[in-house]
Structure 1
Amino acid sequence: MSFQLISILTEPIKLTGKDQNVIQISDQLVKKLQFNKHRTINISIGRKTIPALVKTKDIPEDTVYFSEDLLKSFYLPIRPHKFHATVLPEIQTLKLGPIVALLTDSIEIKNEGPYFRSIHLFCEELQQGISENGGFFYVFSYDQFLSQGYYLENGKWTAAQLPVPDVIYNRVHSRALEYKIEFKHFREKVNQLLIPFFNDRFLSKWEVYEHLKGIRSLEAYLPKTKLFSKDHFYEMAQLYDTLFLKPIHGSQGRNIIKISRDLETHYSLETSMKTAPAEKSGTFTLDELFQRIKPLIQNRIYIIQQGISLMTCQTSSMDFRVLCHQNLDNIWRVTSTVARIAGEQEFVSNLARGGTLTRPLTALRSCMNNKNALEVLALMKELALETASIISRNSSSIIGELGIDIGVDQEEKPWLIEVNSKPSKNFENDLSKIRPSAKAIIQFCTILAFETAVIKEDI
């Protein structure tokens, strides 16, 4: 970091008339911030800057008294707020923040207030972590950007006009929404305001494979993958006993087709589609199989991926989700790893398809000795970190977190299966405290917010 952050508590007080834009601080804080008494400075919160007169008062060292009217001008609730702060000396500005906004398309309005569906508890977790760490957090939908968001007050999410955020964390669930013209207009507005917007879109499976396939250190851990076509399908079906056909824009284990060679020239298929049975449904020649697959795929773009004979847990399919985040030094680190066990009669392990979780070492030790389990887990984390680093390095946008799905075959070799830019928030244990993954998001938002402020000062 090229700047220093200090912790400041803002306390609202009632001031009237010409004192409305006065801030009261202690002599010690004036010295720490290197401000002059009785001098006007700029206060910056979110994307708004307001001049305020500095007056000293015998109050706790790291407390700043704000007039209620000044807080209203920043569209902040009238209550104490803990913020990080830095001084931008070139423009005589005290920057307070971060103002973090989470974007979602999953807002339901109920009698008790808004409900954010699968990420509701995660939003509460982020709010708690940010308020304790320093900053202000709210949730919004793209069509209400700059007009309304939801912040947590006394255990309830309250609608209000809130500050323009320093950083936006994209948790939109719908791939289709990201292609809508209205959403693109929203993104243009965000870009115009120079707001960092991270994990801005879903990654396609083919895009990920293209980034990784030329990396020598990862090549041996990548299943062979091709775009679906008749020629590629026939070629891959004759090379491998098992294939997976996946939509390049798919998620949560939906619309996947599994092809298995039963005899030398006959194949069976299973699907995770709602409109097709998940169980095996007879055997087919390659020509018959292709004709059966075409209407299932329709006009969607699919990849064909080499099937790996993975380790199982009590006959159920098993893989591992390694969650990775960028830290304060823009270095990727692992924040969580879990084993996912497929549900009954399912060949995908996603929680949305009835999968369950267990500890990674517990799962590995059920298939190998402890020494090998520790070595395989360490290798999985190493592969996940390198994968995350390569994906973010090749991206034109900001990526702060990735979920890397890894399988382990019968010979105890890990395989990179998928990379997710919108990883589930329900697979980690212990929602009673702020999890490492949430702390990593908070740190990433903080650094983005203040780095952007410092860069703007230098322009």
Structure 2
Amino acid sequence: MTHRIKDVRKFLPYYRVARSEGFDDVVVFTPSNLNLNRKTVVGYRLKKSVWLKQTSKLPAICYDIGYYSSPASISKVRAIKQHPSVPFITYGLGNKWKIHQQLSRFPELNSCLIPTQVCDSPQALLDMALQHATIIIKPINGKEGKGILRLRRFADKFLLEQNDQPSVLLDETGLANLFAARFRTNRYLMQKWIDIRNKQGTVYDVRVLMQKNGAGSWTIAGMAAREGGAGRITSNLMDGGTPHPLAAYLFEQFRKKRAKKIIKRLTRLSPIVCSRLEESYQRRQAELGLDWAIDAQGHVWLIEVNIKPGKIPFRSVFPFETIEDGIRLPIQYARYVLEQELADSKVDLPAGKASS
């Protein structure tokens, strides 16, 4: 399932992997083309090397790779994923604040969670800015690093910074005006700024791609450092960032022994984060992208969790030679869900058909 189909041929890798993993067929469709009452879907199926738009029964298992922004599409997707006749391998987790709250329930993760609050009043903004020398303010439903601001305190003044915008110096009244103008009607989170500048003064973080395998277990599919562009306050690849092999990058920033300890900690914590989210939400997940900050002392902090992590931008550093390599594990997991978790269900579905 996806948000739009401009060129159905781009879904050929999904078809190839699904067929090689034992699925009989693949249907590519958008939420608007699924009819819950009739239990049918209008989508594209590959027949004799030609993609044909056809009406068919609901697929046995669904892989949602879409990005939905309009209220109508979000509502439709929510209804589909709540329906027992349409099982998915991954489900939504809510906004960044909800995810943070859920993870905060687990003491074993408290040491890696960044102090975070909702920016819901001028006083909350001021208190956070006074408590921490620097804070990050970001949209509660943001993605790709868009809309992120950094607020730095200098005595009784505050410097507001944003990519591609001139910095603004504010006093407490200016902070209140900022809240009224920008944060009153748009939900934002505030986080303590973790100093993630490298030795050259450029910001960077770490992306860990977690995927379920054919045995239903979490595995680390890739790890990479993301370095922001010169003068940027974020490291997102869609905003000029550059991916680097993690080990080599950390060896340049820390002593080798310290770098190895950091990687070991990331390797230990990442599966725990994923498992605790599944436990908390009681919903299966097939893949998650974890963004980690590493401060100058080598302590790791979880920045946020992405439910639909991009893979193509990391192909140069992840162990993926082809697009197929990046989607094989989730599709193997789909087969596992179909055969192990749904085998005894009473859902009347055509076994062996997958959707994308």
Per the normalisation by structure 2, the TM-score is 0.86
Indicate whether 1:317 and 2:215 are aligned: no
Indicate whether 1:270 and 2:138 are aligned: no
Q: Is the 8 A contact 1:130 1:137 kept in 2?
A: yes
- Aligned length, in residue pairs: 338
Q: Is the 8 A contact 1:405 1:418 kept in 2?
A: yes
Supply the distance in 2 between the matched residues of 1:300 and 1:187 (Cα, whole angstroms): 26
Q: Is the 8 A contact 2:288 2:308 kept in 1?
A: yes
- Any idea what the Cα deviations from partners look like across 1:359-404, whole Å, max 9, x if unmatched? 1112211201222212211211222111111111111432221111
How far 1:343 sits from its partner (Å)?
A: 2.5
- Any idea what the Cα deviations from partners look like across 1:301-346, whole Å, max 9, x if unmatched? 2111110111326432100111112234433221111111112332
1:260 aligns to what? 152
Q: Is the 8 A contact 1:143 1:186 kept in 2?
A: no
Indicate whether 1:204 and 2:95 are aligned: yes
Indicate whether 1:361 and 2:247 are aligned: yes
Q: Taking structure 1 as reference, are residues 383 and 287 closer, same or farther at Cα in structure 2, changes over 3 Å only?
A: farther
Supply the distance in 2 between the matched residues of 1:169 and 1:289 (Cα, whole angstroms): 43
Which of the residues 18, 24, 34 maps onto 1:130? 18
Equivalences for residues 67-216 of structure 1 within 5 A: 103-108=1-6, 113-114=7-8, 120=10, 123-135=11-23, 136-145=25-34, 146-152=40-46, 157-177=51-71, 180-187=74-81, 191-193=83-85, 195-201=86-92, 203-216=94-107
Identity of aligned residues (%): 22
- Any idea what the Cα deviations from partners look like across 1:236-260, whole Å, max 9, x if unmatched? 1111111111221111111112111
1:327 aligns to what? 213
2:339 aligns to what? 450
Indicate whether 1:387 and 2:273 are aligned: yes
Supply the distance in 1 between the matched residues of 2:309 and 2:94 (Cα, whole angstroms): 11
Per the normalisation by structure 1, the TM-score is 0.68
How far 1:424 sits from its partner (Å)?
A: 1.3
RMSD of Structure 2 on Structure 1 (CA): 2.6
Q: Is the 8 A contact 2:208 2:220 kept in 1?
A: yes
- Name the SS for the 1:334 alignment partner: strand
Between Structure 1 and Structure 2, the one with more strand by share is 1
Q: Taking structure 1 as reference, are residues 239 and 453 closer, same or farther at Cα in structure 2, changes over 3 Å only?
A: closer
Equivalences for residues 32-51 of structure 1 within 5 A: none
Q: Taking structure 1 as reference, are residues 227 and 458 closer, same or farther at Cα in structure 2, changes over 3 Å only?
A: closer
- Name the SS for the 2:311 alignment partner: coil
Indicate whether 1:221 and 2:115 are aligned: no
Larger Rg: 1
How far 1:439 sits from its partner (Å)?
A: 2.1
**Structure 2 residue runs without a partner (length 5+):** 35-39, 349-356
- Name the SS for the 2:314 alignment partner: coil
**Per chain length, whose mean CA-contact separation is higher, i.e. which structure has more relative contact order (CA < 8 Å, sep 6+)?**
2
Supply the distance in 1 between the matched residues of 2:49 and 2:251 (Cα, whole angstroms): 42
